[in-house]
Amino acid sequence: MRLEGKIAIVTGAGSGFGEGIARRFAGEGARVVVNDIAVANGERVAREIVAAGGAAKFCAGDVSKDADVSQLVAFALAAFGGLDIVVNNAGTTHRNQPMLDVTEDEFDRIYRVNVKSLFLTARHAVPHFRRQRHGVFITIASTAGVRPRPGLTWYNGSKGAAITTSRSMAAELAPDNIRVNVINPVAGETAMLADFMGQDTPAMRAKFVASIPLGRLSLPSDIATAAVFFASDEAAFITGACLEVDGGRCV
């Protein structure tokens, strides 16, 4: 039980990588606050974790809104009596298309969810982490932030900003024993896959998978394994790291 006694918030945990992380954290002994804007999905994940013998509660909220993030942190403290880990997993994208075809509203939404959320979770969790002299942030970014491709320009930029922001946080927060690390998945079977490819066809999938040396998409279990390590005491001397969990796509 590598996370025994720890309390974690996982944003965007109603599906995809976030769901995988929440389930794995609970299986490793953590008490988990499942956060998502999709209420039915988030409630399902929390309910299934509890049914499997884990500890989880659902808290609805939009990670791009200050009031919602404030409530999320307060919920964790009230529900479980503390907070040790924040996984910033919630993310969004625009469809693969020429950069000038993306609307201003789409651009703003991407940066609110993918970048502003880091500011908001830090704003509300760091004071608690400082008081207890420990804490962990894990950012689920993307290989798009380190090896950008045409067609996802503004998404690529948001993930690059999330990576740089997280590493800057790591440098500033290290004296408080607050660690910040980044995981960069390649695309997986998530709701955003069709947007990444532009169109979801067998030919497009084959082309995308062919660009990954290990020959498949990311699985939630791949990302959850890396997140457990960063969240655990095994990574006590690791901060500011940026780990590609991508089957070699960034090589």
Q: One of 58, 80, 111, 155 is an active-site residue; which one? A: 155
Secondary structure (H, E, C), the chain: CCCCCCEEEECCCCCHHHHHHHHHHHHCCCEEEEEECCHHHHHHHHHHHHHCCCEEEEEECCCCCHHHHHHHHHHHHHHHCCCCEEEECCCCCCCCCCHHHCCHHHHHHHHHHHHHHHHHHHHHHHHHHHHHCCEEEEEECCHHHCCCCCCCHHHHHHHHHHHHHHHHHHHHHHHHCEEEEEEEECCECCCCHHHHHCCCCHHHHHHHHHCCCCCCCECHHHHHHHHHHHHCHHHCCCCCCEEEECCCCCC
Instruction: Confirm whether 155 is a catalytic residue.
Output: yes
Q: Catalytic positions, please?
A: 155
